Structure 1
Amino acid sequence: MSSGTGQWFALLESNTTGTGREFCGAARARGLRPVLLTRDPDRYPYVAEDAVDTRVLDTGDLAAVVATCGSLAEDAGLAGITSSSEYFVADAARAAAKLGLPGPDGDAIARCRDKAMQRAALAGAGVPVPAWRAVFDVTEAVEAATAIGHPVVLKPVSGSGSLGVRLCGDRAETEEWARHLLGRGTDERGNTVPSRVLVEAVVDGPEFSVETFDNRVVTVVAKHTGPPPHFVETGHDIPAPVPPKTAAVLGDTALSALKALGLGWGAAHTELRWSAQGPVVIEVNPRLAGGMIPVAVRAVTGTDLVDAVVARAAGQDTAPASGGDGRGDGRLGTGSAGPAPAGERHAAVRFVMAADAGRVTSIHGLAAARGAPGVVAATAGTAVGRLVRITHSFQDRLACAVATGADTGQAGARADFAARLITIDLEKPAEPEEGNGGR
């Protein structure tokens, strides 16, 4: 089924939760025909629900991506290509460059996605980062952890959504987790993974993210995370309830990080912790934030980051993204409500977390959640028939609610109440199967 008559707008894969489907709605609202380039359309429930055109190909093969985009250009014209998936943003940028379309620096994005290369570039530019070492085997991991001092954090040098990230309190835990990470041949998307692990110092203090577009700070977000030894994000507060001076320092640090990495075109999502010495960059993600953050941002500021990303990649004019009290008329795609009522300039996102593994048999309460006070969006990130595994990552988030309020407390309470109205029933699978899939 065709989605329109305008030029094509290609999406190289998609994130599996959050705002993935919103990109298609934003493209359609701009008169474009979204088309998803994917290995497996069934990975994304919204494709069938929203009648999104697809092209099935090996999306890990840049030549195949460029060839497919070339055929789209010959068909009805191709306005642009981008990705909402962490794993494909670099190749989307590289494909855009080969086709003469707007896009960021694909090589800079690829360097940024290698967390060891990112750390080195940031440290070299004087941007505060945790003490760290990249290691190739278990012995090196233990030596690095001993030198840095336990506890330490171990994580893959490439990845997304807290997958594989773990706090290790002693030598035995470090050795065990390093062996696990180094024993993986592929990531959750089936891509070959580098045989390196990052060992880094623990940074104590509250966690934030800074959402930017080009070289402008849109907003600062406060994060809620689950209990250690994992770092799963369970909610967000927008804007972060911190003094203006603190927000300004966080924003300036994020912009310094982007400059050091050769970024600053389009959206970026920079994660930081506020330590006793001030802000420390945990990582820079050269993409739009996931976790429904863009939905919450639009609700309280009027700035539609999804629409801005689509417009930028399609070479269309878009007003500069900005935070503050500006309330624009930006769009979100299918399934999202409009801006919050006047006076409700705070928003919160709360997730329904998987408590156990199993296959989804039913989903209840979405309508009730959407009708709850202050709620602007309530969505399920899974579907009936999908297998759920406990991965201690973003994949454990099965649904979410976004709500607004007059202050952080009210917005958070509303989002939490709405999320509790959503129930997802599971049955135990007969035997182990492939899990949730990647971002």
Structure 2
Amino acid sequence: MRLYLLALNPTDSVTEGFLPAAARLGLDVTVLTDQPDAHRRASADRTSPDVEVLECDVRDFRAVVTRVSTHPRTPGETFAVFTNSDHLQTQAALAAAYFGLPGKDWRATLRCKDKAEMRRRLAAEGLDTVWSAELTEPAPLDAPYPCVVKPREGVASEDVVLVDGPEELVRQSKEILARRPGTVLVVEEYLPGELYTLETLGDGHVRHVLGGFHTELSPPPYFVEERLTFVPAHPEPVVDQVLAQLDALGVGFGACHTEFVVHAGRARIIEVNYRAIGDQCDLLLARLLDIPLFEHILRTHLGEPLPAGLGARRDGAARLDYPCADRAGTLTEAPAATELTVDGVHLTYRPLRAVGERHDLYRTNRDYLGVLRATGTDQGTVDRVSADFLTSRHWEIQP
């Protein structure tokens, strides 16, 4: 069976998660991407060296359909279409629907990707009403300040900022639109509360809740995720509220990563990423739960039902830390990749920026210098060992 995997830039989720899983499932893989050279470089030392990489304008579902239709296959060879990219879910869903393959409902992927449409849908279903407006040019708004301004189809806290009034809104939206010509911005009321995630996996009939994370953010006005601590089970009323909102959006197939806040017992969605959680959290989840997570996700797109029980471990504790650049400049000193076990806690550190690289300050996850994954069975020990590791390492940025 052949898997057509749609991708933009290479990601850890694909190179360390889905491609090795596809190899273990015995799938022939064709990566369709607008960045073929980057994927060929990334695949040089991967465990699945026979991955085929083809250039394709993957942002256009028509180009995807044409590429799949014209790609040589052996007689009777079956195939599937899949992506873990935020930006390509609707294209993959439309291509899968065109060929009559298992996949997500393209209307649901569109509702999740388009943050304004998500708000309209939840309000129409009577589940949550959030004040919001859309901007195509800088303009003052009579809004319930403070408000959050962000790209309507953005990801990773990119150009997401808290504004205190109309003048600040005009200034920030002007800066964002200068960086992103033609972008539509969403301005919406700020939702107070602690930030969490819910990770789910479904096949359209069975839905498993894998747990979630408590997310710690950088100080306002920005929203950079600096630490995530695993939450084995959110309170049942909170989970019920989030799942009801996902049902209203039509979410239920494959992996889904939902961000929400809880305030006074009320769960309110911030955004829905209709794919597996990224930034190496999915790699941590697979290890922590001790399940073939990436294989399960792929199997749903192959048309296989999920088991009634995943057999996931429920005694785990974990957290992820993201050392961040606090200024623009060149990284002159940083720890190397490390894997070790301390007091029963397994630590995996991976650098995300090479020594010698120069970068601006982005106020997003592009400021991450590395990621530390820690798994164990006692949260206090996980926290202590993680903190000790970070304080004993040094990152130096020179102007």
Matching residue within 301, 304, 329 for 1:313: 301
Is this contact kept in 2: 1:208–1:271, CA < 8 A? yes
Which residue of the partner structure matches residue 336 of structure 1? none
Q: Cα distance, 1:89 vs. partner?
A: 1.4
- Which letter maps to 2:2? W
Number of aligned residues: 388
Q: Which residue of 2 aligns with 1:258?
A: 246
Counterpart residue type for residue 199 of structure 2: E
Q: How far apart are 1:366 and its partner, in Å?
A: 1.1
Q: Identity of paired residues, percent?
A: 26
User: Could you state the TM-score of these two structures normalised by the residue count of structure 2?
Assistant: 0.86
> Contact 2:200 / 2:210 at 8 angstroms: preserved in 1?
yes
Counterpart CA distance in 2 for 1:14 and 1:414 is 35
Partner of 1:80: 80
Residue 359 of structure 1 contacts residue 427 of structure 1 at CA under 8 Å; is this kept in 2?
Answer: yes
Take 2:71 and 2:334, find their aligned partners in 1: how far apart are those partners? 37
Quote the Cα distance in structure 1 between the aligned partners of 2:241 and 2:292: 23
Equivalence map 1:225-244=2 (5 Å):
225-239=217-231
- What's 1:375 paired with? 346
Q: Which residue is 1:97 aligned to?
A: 97
Determine if contact 2:227/2:320 at 8 Å carries over to the other structure: yes
Q: Where does the alignment leave 5 or more consecutive residues of structure 2 unmatched? A: none
Give the whole-Å Cα distance in 2 for the aligned partners of 1:396 and 1:409: 27
Q: Secondary structure of 2:73's match?
A: helix
Q: Which amino acid aligns with 1:25?
A: P
Give the equivalent residue in structure 2 for 1:351: 322
CA distance in 2, matches of 1:370, 1:40: 34
Quote the Cα distance in structure 2 between the aligned partners of 1:153 and 1:278.
Answer: 19
Instruction: State whether residues 346 and 376 of structure 2, in contact with CA within 8 Å, keep that contact through their aligned partners in structure 1.
Output: no
1:13 maps to amino acid = A
- Structure 1 alignment gaps of length 5 or more: 1-6, 187-192, 328-342, 429-439
Q: Which has the higher contact order (CA 8 A, sep 6+)?
A: 1
Contact 1:15 1:84 in 2 (8 A): no
How many angstroms does 1:233 deviate by? 0.8
Cα distance in 2, alignment partners of residues 34 and 385 from structure 1: 34
| 1:24-43 aligned within 5 A | 24-43=19-38
Quote the offset at 1:420 in angstroms. Answer: 5.6
Deviations 1:348-373 (A, max 9, x none): 11112223335667864213x44555
AA aligned opposite 1:113: K
TM-score, reference length from structure 1:
0.79
CA displacement 1:45-100 (0-9 Å, x = unmatched): 63233144311222223222222223446258453221121111111121122222
TM-superposition CA deviations, 1:18-64 (whole Å, max 9, x none): 42311101111111133322122344563233144311222223222
Distance 2:329 2:11 in 1: 18
Q: Is residue 2:57 matched to residue 1:69?
A: no
Residue 278 of structure 1 aligns with an amino acid whose one-letter code is R
When residues 304 and 129 of structure 1 are mapped into structure 2, their CA distance, relative to the original with a 3 A threshold, is: farther
Partner residue of 1:392 out of 334, 347, 363? 363
Superposed CA RMSD: 2.8
SS of residue matched to 1:74: coil
Q: What code does the residue aligned with 1:211 have?
A: E
Bigger mean CA offset, 42-51 vs 97-106? 42-51
The equivalent of 1:46 in structure 2 is 42
Contact 1:399 1:419 in 2 (8 A): no
Change (3 A) 1:422 1:309: farther
Tell me the residue number matched to 1:115: 115
- For the pair 1:8 / 2:5, whether they are aligned, the reply is no
Paired residue secondary structure (1:138): coil
Question: Is residue 8–residue 34 contact of structure 2 (8 Å, CA) maintained in 1?
Answer: no
> Residues 326 and 363 (structure 1 numbering): CA distance in 2 closer, same or farther, change over 3 Å?
same
Structure 1 equivalent of residue 212 of structure 2? 220
